[in-house]
Amino acid sequence: MLLEKKNTKQLLARYALTGLLAAFLVFLFWLFRPQQSFDARLWRALGDAALIFLSVILVIGPLAKLWKPAARLISWRREMGIWFAILAFVHFARINDFLILFPDTQLPRFLGLVALFWALVLAATSSDRAVNFLGPSSWKWLHGMAYVIFYLVVGHAAYFLFWRYSELNWFQYPFLVMAIAVPALQLGAFAKEVMRQKANQIKQTNIESQKIKLPILEQKIIAEKTCEVSFGLSGKKFEFLAGQYIRVTVPKLLYPDPKGTSRVFSIASSPNDKNKLNIAFRDSGSGFKRTLMELPLSSFIDIEGPFGYFTLPKDTSNPLVFVAGGIGITPFLSMIRFVVEQKLTHQITLLYANRNTESAAYLEELTAIAKKDPNFLFKNQFGRIDADFIQQSVNNLNKSAWYIVGPPAMVADTRSLLSHLGVSEAKIYFENFEGY
């Protein structure tokens, strides 16, 4: 996984420390089998130590979701993964000739060889350079093979522990614990994530959804291929929380659109603005958006909402990091405007990515807010948000709550980067903006 920035000396120290732990485990397991020959003791100790390393690597992730202090161990998975591959390779080198003498070992040997192949592939790609080359999502998919390796190794080891050497063996007990603990923690972390998502979905905001008709107050271009439409509240009451969204329905399409007469948009204006309701969107050329931009001023539009739970936390003690891709800035703009107006004490860092200056909506306003408000830090990026940009912009990554909005690919990549940087997934909130 990606690490926080460390110099070469620190990295070497981490690898050396992990290597010493590996050597200690091998020596410990070697001592526990005094009745066997030196070679048998050694190759079994290498295999046992490798399995311990692999199990710990796979336990850390789900455990961090269930128990927050475990997140501190996430940054050590890279070193442990590489040393697992080294132990597995040396185990194979020591045992290969020995196993040729045993009949009926083709299947467990095959399982072990496949696991070793993937272990070496993952070890070879355990670097920041590999992440940047492959892309975060592809890299994460590849390293998801670690779980496949685990089950291959479990099958390989189970044969020798319970079939080839069926007599009582002390390592059978820790083996069973590991074989059960890894999938059990996976299921536990999955269940907790599902419950967290469900809790967010049903979280009560004390604001009832409503349907009202509002007139178009203004239509304008605010950046390259980016439009803003304002609806006049005309004294009507429409309450919402910063970060929520609405459904907008036009009475009739001026241009055909296969997706119909309505769309959902995040609200860009502050809840404090009682005169108008703003939305902004990229001009995709759809019939709906063309219609919305060309309808006469004062045309009445159906507004339904508010919806969504992607809102500011009430707790202001933890810093917030907003990661916006393109027009994903809209819910954050509502939050930032509201925080500034209410003089709330949220510490906010905004990481905003666009293709260029011309396509960056609300750039001047955000820059002006950052100059006036010491609690708001603004970092603009032209191009993709990568690990270096995140590390240079935010200190103490795992102490912040992370909010991500943008195109699905950008959101997926950013989530992967944060996970690899040691940020607990429980601290990551996101919304995908589809390009309709």
pLDDT in tens, 320-363: 999 999 999 999 999 999 999 999 999 999 999 999 999 999 99
Q: Lowest mean pLDDT of 3-17, 151-165, 319-333, name the range.
A: 3-17
377 or 76: which leads in pLDDT: 377
DSSP string, 225-286: TEEEEEEE-TT------TT-EEEEE-SS-SS--TT-SEEEEE--S-TT--SEEEEEEE----
Amino acid at 149: I
Collapsed DSSP state (helix, strand, coil) of residue 403: strand
Per-residue pLDDT band for 203 (boundaries 50, 70, 90) equals: low
pLDDT at position 184 is 96
Sign of CA dihedral 416, 417, 421, 426: negative
- Non-local CB neighbours of 218 within 8 Å, separated by 6+ positions: 228, 229, 230, 276, 297
pLDDT at position 204 is 45
DSSP state letter for 296: P
Q: Identify the residue whose tokens are 């027009």.
A: 327
- Non-local CB neighbours of 77 within 8 Å, separated by 6+ positions: 1, 57, 60, 61
Closest CA to 320 of 162, 196, 414, 428: 428
Domains of the chain: 8-201 (1.20.120), 210-307 (2.40.30.10), 320-432 (3.40.50.80)
Average pLDDT rounded to a whole number, residues 262-269: 96
Per-residue pLDDT band for 148 (boundaries 50, 70, 90) equals: very high
Please give the mean pLDDT across all residues of the chain: 89
pLDDT in tens, 397-422: 888 999 999 988 899 889 888 888 87
pLDDT at position 101 is 54
In terms of Cβ atoms closer than 10 Å to its own Cβ (0-12, 13-18, 19+), residue 83 is buried
pLDDT at position 102 is 62
